[in-house]
Amino acid sequence: MAFPRCDQTVAWSALSGHFEAHGRDLDLRQVFADNPDRVQRLGIQAPEVFGDLSRVHWDVATLRHLLDLARECGLEARRDAMMAGEVMNTTEGRAVLHTALRAPRGQGPHSQQVHDVLDRMLAFVENVRTTAGGTAPGQITDVVNIGIGGSDLGPQMVVPALDAFVHPGLNFHFVSNADGQDLASVLRKVRPEHTLFVIASKTFTTQETMANAVAARQWFADHGGTDIARHFVATTTNVEAAAAFGITQTFGFWDWVGGRFSMWSAIGLPIALALGSSNFHAMLAGGHAMDEHFAQTSLAHNLPVLLGLMDVWYRNFKGYSSRCVVPYHHGLRRLPAYLQQLVMESNGKRVDAQGAPLPFGTSDVLWGEAGTNGQHAFFQMLHQGTDVVPVEFLLVRQPSYRAPGSMTPALRALLDQQHHMLLANGLAQAQALMWGKTAEEALGEAVPTAAPDMPAEAIAKHRTFPGNRPSLTLLMDEVTPRSLGALVVLYEHRTFVSGALWGINSFDQWGVELGKALCKDLLPRLCSGDTAGLDAATAAMIARLR
C-alpha cells in the first residue's frame, strides 16, 4: 500500500503551524474555562471502556488537524487491510491477524482452523478443571506456565486481573526469567503429582524457555514424576520437538500471530485453565467488540484512533518522551509490564517500513505501577519534576475482589469503603496534575514548624505545583473477562494507529535478535575462558566473572 508517511503530508505541515500558533502553550485550565462543554465533547464511550480525553493537551482545532493527518496517511485503508489479512509485516512477509483469533465462529479469515484449535484446547481445559483441586493422584492443583515475552506477559497479566473468576482449586505460577531463582522459587511450592507444566514457545527453541523447561523436567523426574505426557503440555507449532521432549499434548498457532498479540491464541491456555471455557469466550467476545468499534466507528468517535493520534501529537509536537500508566485496581498491577512489550516492541523503530531513517521520534517509554502504590513512589516527579509526563488513570467503578471464606457485613463494608478511597485517590491525582497550586495559595497555608529558619516565601516555592499537566482517564464498570478483553484490544489498536502514521512496521521485532545471537557465542566462552576476538570490555568482564 502506497500511503505517505505522516511528515510527508499536507496535514503535517498544517499541524505544525497550528502547534506553533496555538498548541505549544496550551493551558488546560484556560481551555476548560473557555469551553464548558469540553468534558461532554471529549468523552468517548467504546465497548466496556469510557475514555475521558478532556485533560489531554489539545483543543478542538488540534483534533481536527490530527484527523486530517490520519485520513491523508490512509489510516482507514491500512486498518481494513490488516483485518482482511493482507501482508502488514513486510520484513517477514506475514499477515497480522490476531483479530481473527477473537472473531466468532464463521467470521473472519482462517475461522475454521482458529476454532478447531480453540475447541480442542477448551475441551482439554474442561477435562483438567473437572477434577482440579482434589488430592487424588493426577488431580491438578498447580499450573506452571513456562514462557517469556509474549508467551508469558499476557497470561501473567490476565490471571491475577481476573482473580475473582479463577478456579478456586487451582494455583497459577509464571516462570520466565533465565535466572534459576525464578523457577526454583516456584518448584518449592508445588508437588509433581499435582502439577501441570505448560511450555509456551512457538518454535520450541526459545533459549530461556527451554532452559527452564529442561530444568522443570529434571525436577519432575527427581521427585518421582513418571508421566511427562500427562503433566507437561506445550503451546507450540513445533510438534516434533515437543514430542522429543516427551510431550504429546500440543496446541498450535500460526505465523500471523505475533508474540505480543498471542494471549488470544493457544498461548492463552493458562488463562483458559484459570477462567474456564465460558469466561475465555467472554474475553474473546470483549476483544472482538473493540475490534468492531475500531473497524466500524468514524475516526472522530473511535477511541483507539483518538488515543493513537494523541500519542503522535504528544511524541512529535509536545515533546513528551514517556507516559505513565497507573491502574487503580490491584488486579491490573501487571498491565504496565504487558503494555511495555506491546508498545515499545511494536513501535520502538528508527526506520520506516521502507528502511529510510526517521527524522522524528517514535515509541515513547511506557512505565507505571498500580495506584495508590505509585503515589508513594514516583508521583512526586509527576507533580513537581522538570519533565512533563502524561499520566493514564484506569479506574474501575465496582470492586471485583474475591470474598474471603466467611465475609461478614462489617468486613464487606470496610472493603467497599477502601474501594471508594481508591477511586477518590485516582480522581484527586488527575485533578491535582491539572490544577496545581500557586505560590500564593501555598503561602496562605500553615508553614511547617520543622523549618523555623526558612522564610515562608521559600517554603511556599517548595509547596507550589505548576499544574497544567496532562492526563487521561479510562473507566470500566468492572473488571470482567469481557471488559478486560476490550481494554487490551483498545491498547493493541491504539499502538497500530500511531505506528501506521509514523510509517513503520509495528509487527516485527528485530531489535531483540542481536543480543540473543551474541549470547550464543558468549555462553561457551564463560565456561572455557576463551576471549579471542572479543572487545576489551567484554573480555575483561568474562575474566572477572571466572
pLDDT band at 258 (very low <50, low <70, confident <90, very high): very high
Cα 29–chain centre separation = 31
Tell me if residue 310 falls in helix, strand or coil: helix
- Whole-number Å distance between alpha carbons of 522 and 440: 61
What was the pLDDT predicted at 443?
A: 86
pLDDT of 167 over the 90 cut: yes
Query: Where does the pLDDT of residue 401 fall: very low under 50, low under 70, confident under 90, or very high at 90 and above?
Result: confident
**439 pLDDT more than 70:** yes
Rounded mean pLDDT of the chain?
95
Q: Read off the amino acid at residue 431.
A: Q
pLDDT at 142: 98
pLDDT > 80? residue 450: no
Lowest-confidence segment of 40-54, 443-457, 471-485, 514-528 by average pLDDT: 443-457
Q: What is the separation of C-alpha 397 from the centre of its chain, rounded to a whole number of angstroms?
A: 21
Q: Angle 60-72/10-18 helices, nearest 10 degrees?
A: 160
Range with the lowest mean pLDDT among 174-178, 273-277, 447-451, 523-527? 447-451
Average pLDDT on 359-376 reads 98
Report d(CA 392, CA 27) in Å as an integer.
19
Using the predicted structure, report yes or no on whether residue 99 has a pLDDT greater than 80.
yes
Domain 111-275 has CATH 3.40.50.10490: yes
Residue 393: the pLDDT is 98
Q: Do the two domains 6-90+285-400+413-443+455-502 and 111-275 of this chain adopt the same fold?
A: yes
Lowest mean pLDDT: which of 246-250, 376-380, 400-404, 538-542?
A: 400-404
The pTM (predicted TM-score) of the whole model is 0.97
Tell me: pLDDT of 402 over 80.
no
Q: How far apart are CA 425 and CA 443, in angstroms?
A: 25
Angstrom distances, CA of residue 520 to CA of 164, 179, 513: 42, 16, 11
Provide the pLDDT for residue 449. 65
Q: Determine phi and psi for 336, rounding to 5 degrees.
A: -55, -40
- Residue spans of the domains in the chain: they are 6-90+285-400+413-443+455-502, 111-275, 511-545
- Mean pLDDT, residues 232-238: 95
CA separation for the pair 159, 515 (Å, rounded): 30
**Is 520 within 8 Å of 334 (Cβ atoms)?**
no
> What is the Cα–Cα distance from 30 to 467, expressed in whole angstroms?
12
C-alpha cell at 55: 485533560
SS3 158: helix
Question: Does 444 score more than 90 pLDDT?
Answer: no
The rounded distance, in Å, linking the Cα atoms of 199 and 97 is 23
Judged against a pLDDT cut of 90, whether residue 199 lies above it is answered with yes
Looking at domain 6-90+285-400+413-443+455-502, its CATH architecture is 3-Layer(aba) Sandwich (3.40)
pLDDT (mean) for 285-291: 98
Residues with catalytic roles: 345, 376, 516
Query: Could you tell me if 392 and 323 are in contact, meaning their C-beta atoms sit under 8 angstroms apart?
Result: yes
Q: If you average pLDDT over residues 510-531, what whole number do you get? A: 93
User: What pLDDT band is residue 49 in, cutting at 50, 70 and 90?
Assistant: very high
* Mean pLDDT within 164-183: 97
Radius of gyration of the chain (CA): 25
In angstroms, the Cα distances linking 132 to 171, 194, 249, 276 are 10, 9, 18, 12
Q: Is the pLDDT of residue 329 over 90?
A: yes
- Percentage above 90 pLDDT, the chain: 91
Is the pLDDT at 292 greater than 90, yes or no? yes
Phi, psi of 294 (to 5 degrees): -65, -40
Instruction: Report the alpha-carbon distance of residue 443 to residue 250 in Å, rounded.
Output: 67
pLDDT value, residue 1: 64
Average pLDDT over residues 497-514: 96
Specify the pLDDT at position 459: 87
Q: Is 150 exposed, middle or buried (0-12, 13-18, 19+ CB in 10 A)?
A: buried
Q: Tell me how many degrees the CA angle 429-433-439 measures, rounded to the nearest 5.
A: 120
SS3 at position 483: helix
Residues 6+ apart with CB under 8 A from 250: 233, 234, 235, 236, 239, 242
Answer whether residue 445 shows pLDDT above 90.
no
How much of the chain, in percent, has pLDDT values that exceed 70?
A: 99
Give me the helix-helix angle, 207-222 and 513-528, nearest 10°: 50
3-state secondary structure of 522: helix
Checking if the pLDDT of 404 tops 80, the result is no
Collapse the DSSP code of 52 into the 3-class scheme (helix H, G, I; strand E, B; otherwise coil) and give the result: strand
